Amino acid sequence: MDILSSLSQFHFLRPWWLLVLLPAGFLIGSVFNRSDSLRAWKNVISPQLLKHLLIRESAEQGRWRPIYMLGVAWLAGIIALAGPSWQFQNSPFSEDQAAMFIVLKVSPEMLSMDIQPSRLQRSILKIHDLLALKSDVRTGLIAYAGSAHLVMPLTSDSGIINSSAAALEPEIMPQPGDEVSAAIVMANQRLKKAAVPGSIVLITDAVDASQLRELTAMRKRGGVEVHILAMAAGADVIPPAGSPPAPPLDMRALTAAAKALGGSLTVVSADKSDVIELSKKIERSISNAPAGDSRQWKDAGYYLLPLIAFLMLTLFRRGGAVAVE
């Protein structure tokens, strides 16, 4: 049954190479005719009579001529170039079974010190703690304000994510604003390209209600779950003197945003309980996410290389040369 199944899936990965069989067949046929030592005699002596005049006919009858070897080698080479295949193999990157994108808001409001030392600095510390818990997950980083920007593509190096996040400041963002939808779109596109189960973590202090409709539509189009880590204190917390102005935590707006994105809301805490809770939610999202098909057809043309090498080696022996005139 497995053999029949394999035969039903047999195909060529690069079938256009089979077109080379036409000129190759013509050339081999031409060389075969030119290499026939009896070609001139066959034109003047009857074939029935000629076979009785040949002294070495019986000795050479079963001998393989060099042109035979060349023809088989060319045929095998063309088939190898066409890429015969009948089974799947895992992608060379299939060991990376999960991915996560961290989307970080980098705006002047994130400099507010109602969360010590500031909303942005605490976000960077939480990223470090989260990566320590999710060391087996490839992670990417996107920063946004009035526009979204890829800071670091998916990587297994948590150190470079931490250092890149630590370098983010509102001053380096080209446009002020709050374009969270553009950042989520970018993260979804990157995860789709990676073709592995993934999740998105949005670290922000607020989500504009005007973007809820776009976020809902994004989720309906197949976006992955987005878990929000709210990086703001309640109205009862009075920021220290000199803290940039920023709106307090709006649980209603952030809960609505989390619902629109199909994820959850976690409020920042002084200890690591928020990151531990967030890690569990990410793990659940990744396990429930549909896995992309990272398989690819296995090119079996390489199996023909030893045969081609052996056939070509026979042409290097004495009398193995083939002349093309």
Q: pLDDT tens across 78-106, in order?
A: 999 988 988 766 554 444 567 899 999 99
Q: Find out whether 168 and 106 touch, Cβ atoms under 8 Å.
A: yes
pLDDT in tens, 313-322: 776 766 555 5
The confidence score (pLDDT) of residue 153 equals: 94
Choose the weakest-confidence range: 216-220, 283-287, 292-296, 308-312.
Answer: 292-296
Backbone angles phi, psi at 74, to 5 degrees: -65, -45
Q: What is the mean pLDDT of residues 55-75?
A: 65
The confidence score (pLDDT) of residue 42 equals: 62
> Please, which residues bridge with residue 149 across strands?
143
Average pLDDT of the chain, as a whole number: 83
Give the fold, CATH level 3, of 99-288.
Answer: Rossmann fold (3.40.50)
The confidence score (pLDDT) of residue 10 equals: 85
Q: Find out whether 142 and 105 touch, Cβ atoms under 8 Å.
A: no
User: How many secondary structure helices (H) and strands (E) does the chain include?
Assistant: 13, 10
Domain residue extents for the chain:
2-87+298-316, 99-288
Pick from 13-17, 126-130, 223-227 the range whose average pLDDT is largest.
126-130
Three-class secondary structure of residue 228 per DSSP: strand
Q: What is the mean pLDDT of residues 8-22?
A: 86
Q: What is the mean pLDDT of residues 155-184?
A: 93
pTM for the predicted model, two decimal places: 0.63
